[in-house]
Amino acid sequence: MPGSKFELTVLGSNSAIPTANRHPSAHLLNVNERFYLIDCGEGTQIQLRKYGFKFQRIGHIFISHLHGDHFFGLIGLITTMNLLGREQPLTIHAHKELQELITYQLKVSKSWIDFKIHYNHLPTDSQIILDDGKITVQTVPLSHRIPCCGFVFREKIHHRKLLKQVIENYNIPVVLLKGIKQGDDYIAKSGKLIPNEELTESPPKSRSFAYITDTKYKEEIIPLIKEVDLLYHESTFTEEHKDRAKQTFHCTAKEAGTIAQMANVNKLLLGHYSVRYKTLDPLLLEAKSMFETSELSIEGQTYSV
Amino acid sequence: MPGSKFELTVLGSNSAIPTANRHPSAHLLNVNERFYLIDCGEGTQIQLRKYGFKFQRIGHIFISHLHGDHFFGLIGLITTMNLLGREQPLTIHAHKELQELITYQLKVSKSWIDFKIHYNHLPTDSQIILDDGKITVQTVPLSHRIPCCGFVFREKIHHRKLLKQVIENYNIPVVLLKGIKQGDDYIAKSGKLIPNEELTESPPKSRSFAYITDTKYKEEIIPLIKEVDLLYHESTFTEEHKDRAKQTFHCTAKEAGTIAQMANVNKLLLGHYSVRYKTLDPLLLEAKSMFETSELSIEGQTYSV
């Protein structure tokens, strides 16, 4: 729907080592007031509160991989949801060891969760892992030290939009409208065929957001993220530390820009910064050298898809 | 030593549910630049950074019990210490299941810690669990839903202080000075006995700090915390929610004040506040009704012992 929300709020922009101003990875996707949390580093529940989000409205949590800066905040968030009386179920999309770990953590603290948690174990290939009627989520296999998964969030293709006045003029029965929204033509009482284009207008373009972290430079992902509206791509290092990037299976900002350019995306959002960069401008400049519409992710800011 | 530091900085003042301004339990004790961390709720490493502490200087961490708001920040702190190149060992005083949990968490994320971690499993009775030459730490069995332990930190009794001018006047050999500091008298060459009181002055009073959280109201702890200089005692609720306090094995601020008064401590510091209290004055008033020198613990503030 035109004007409906499809936006990302950055809750954590740093890589492994947090600072007082830059937290580990966490991102909140708002699709028309349905909330999806992507990664959940330490302190995510506090960041959600700081920026005024009601985290009981999060229905799905996606954990890219099991390095601590991407999930150490999960157990705290879940237990707080429980303490606040959550009843609706929660789905956690993550590698399977996370389920065992959460279960073990609860056992050690003799705690329990009263609401239902569904665990959806991530596949090793690219699959649609969620279709909730509003969006689909497709996995993107990444290359990191441990199994790691990117995600592409796409609005579901909308039905065509009825041209109200034309529908009324032809006096079309209500029972046929669903089919017309899906592309049917209409045969009038006179026997004349009214083509669908005359009865409807095209739906707005389906928007899409790709979340790619952590990974070494990997061109194989390009077909999976082609022409997304917003690409979040990790840019842990600058080219000056390219050796370190290779060694740790991360990317430089220039490499993120290259991927954005090759995938012909609409906008690139950088993030997952190494603690060594006190100012982030060098990362932005590098990305822009390859792809002009690059932007830094800044905690607390919201980016429209 | 007079003028040496013995002070507590509050890093987290809330109970189970954190807010943007009140974090879960964490306290840093500075004994003359030796640092001891007491509890380590989610976000502790970020709080340490925020208030400018070098956390590589923490040698001992004490975890009162294994409810998440007291230890969910530990794994993140340890892994960051490691990423920053820590070499010196760390001792963690906690219930034994924590060791298994940390080991499991590291295994899941295929991570490792390069420095040595000593685990000291907490006893169920009151024992001295640490004597590092500067302080002793004694456990205080508490009553909570799961095994829980308070701690009393005491400066080691200092030697008596030599009166330099008197020592010189008697021309006392250096080899005898150690004994005189410990209370020996001196027999002069003339055969005259010089009593120790003439050669030395009393050491400053040994300072002490007791950390009591989480627990239901428990008078049995009083002999163990008698006359400490600073008592941190949990005050999760006000008397209005006394039923809830009983049900959850916590204390009201009035009960904390009662314990402080009965133990004849010098000062009471309140903390571990329920998220329901937007302002903390009612808690302070309640404690003061029983014990006048009560104070609220406020994050970022440092309290001299």
**Which residues of chain A have a CB within 8 Å of the CB of B75?**
68, 72
Q: Which residue in the set B17, B79, B101 is minimally distant from A83, CB to CB?
A: B17
The pLDDT tens digits for B113-134 are 999 999 999 999 999 999 999 9
- From the list B98, B119, B30, B23, the residue with the least C-alpha distance to A46 is B23
Which pLDDT belongs to residue B136?
A: 97
Domain co-membership, B216 together with B190: no
Q: Are residues A257 and A128 in the same domain?
A: yes
Residue ranges of the alpha helices (H) in chain B? 44-50, 74-83, 97-108, 164-170, 177-181, 196-199, 222-225, 242-247, 253-262, 281-290
Helical (H) or strand (E) element with A169: helix A164-170
Verify that A141 and A165 share a domain, yes or no.
Answer: no
Q: What is the mean pLDDT of residues A281-299?
A: 98
What tens digit of pLDDT does each residue of B31-71 get? 999 999 999 999 999 999 999 998 899 999 999 999 999 99
A64 part of a folded domain: yes
Q: Clarify whether residues A250 and A153 are in a common domain.
A: yes
**Of the candidates A43, A83, A101, which has its C-beta nearest B46's C-beta?**
A43
Classify residue B1: in a domain, yes or no. Answer: no
Q: Are A73 and A37 in contact (CB under 8 A)?
A: no
The shortest C-alpha distance from A156 to chain B (Å) reads: 34
First to last CA, chain B: 13
Number of structural domains found in chain B: 2
A255 to chain B nearest CA, in Å?
24
* pLDDT tens, residue by residue, B126-179: 999 999 999 999 999 999 999 999 999 999 877 888 999 999 999 999 999 999
Cβ-defined contact of A105 to B68 (cutoff 8 Å): yes
A256 neighbors A235 (Cβ within 8 angstroms): yes
Residues A82 and A65 in one domain: yes
Query: Which chain A residues have a beta carbon less than 8 Å from that of B78?
Result: none
Residue A3 has pLDDT above 70, yes or no: no
Dump pLDDT digits (tens) for B209-237.
999 999 999 999 999 999 999 999 999 99
- A18: domain CATH number is 3.60.15.10
Residues A283 and A214 in one domain: yes
CA nearest to A97 within chain B: B108
pLDDT value at position B110? 85
Q: Which of A23, A79, A97 sits opposite B46 (nearest CB)?
A: A23
Q: CB-based burial of residue B226 (10 Å sphere; 0-12 exposed, 13-18 middle, 19+ buried)?
A: middle
Alpha helices in A14-96 (DSSP H): 44-50, 74-83
User: Could you give the CA distance from residue A174 to residue A156 in angstroms, rounded to a whole number?
Assistant: 24
Q: What is the pLDDT of residue B111?
A: 86
Does residue A266 sit in the same domain as residue A136?
yes
DSSP state of B145: S
Cβ-Cβ contacts under 8 Å, A79 against chain B = 16, 68
Decide if pLDDT at A201 tops 70: yes
Residue A2 or residue A232, greater confidence: A232
Which chain B residue lies closest to A70 (C-alpha atoms)? B109
Q: Are residues A11 and A85 in the same domain?
A: yes
Cα separations in angstroms, B140 against B38, B105, B135, B225: 14, 29, 16, 8
ipTM metric: 0.87
Q: Which residue has the higher pLDDT, B1 or B4?
A: B4
Picking from B11, B13, B17, B95 by the largest number of A CB atoms within 10 A of its own CB, the best residue to mutate is B17
Domain endpoint, select from B148, B183, B201: B201
Asked whether the beta carbons of residue A45 and residue B79 sit closer than 8 angstroms, the reply is no
The rounded distance, in Å, linking the Cα atoms of A157 and A1 is 10
Is the domain of B213 the same as that of B228? yes
Look at residue B241 and give its three-state secondary structure: helix
The domain of A186 spans 161-201
Question: In a mutagenesis test of the A interface, which of B46, B65, B81, B104 is the best target, namely the one with the most A β-carbons within 10 Å?
Answer: B46
Comparing CB atoms, the residue among A101, A109, A145 nearest residue B67 is A109
> Do A59 and A33 form a contact (C-beta atoms < 8 A)?
no
Residues B177 and B107 in one domain: no
pLDDT at position B236 is: 98
**Percent of chain A residues topping a pLDDT of 90:** 88
For A104, which residue in chain B has the nearest alpha carbon? B101
Residues A180 and A249 in one domain: no
pLDDT-wise least confident of A154-158, A290-294, B249-253: A154-158
**pTM score, whole prediction:** 0.89
C-alpha span between B301 and A11 (Å, rounded): 26
Q: Determine how many CB atoms are found less than 10 A away from the CB of residue B247.
A: 10
Q: Are residues B197 and B209 in the same domain?
A: no
Please give the backbone phi and psi of residue B78, each rounded to the nearest 5 degrees, phi first. Answer: -65, -45
pLDDT in tens, B63-92: 999 999 999 999 999 999 999 999 999 999
The pLDDT value given to residue B202:
87
Model confidence band, residue B3 (pLDDT cutoffs 50, 70, 90) = low
The shortest C-alpha distance from B19 to chain A (Å) reads: 6
Which neighbouring-strand residues pair with A9? A28, A302
| Nearest chain A alpha carbon to B147 | A109
Annotated active-site residue in B69, B114, B131, B132: B69
Identify whether A69 is a catalytic site residue: yes
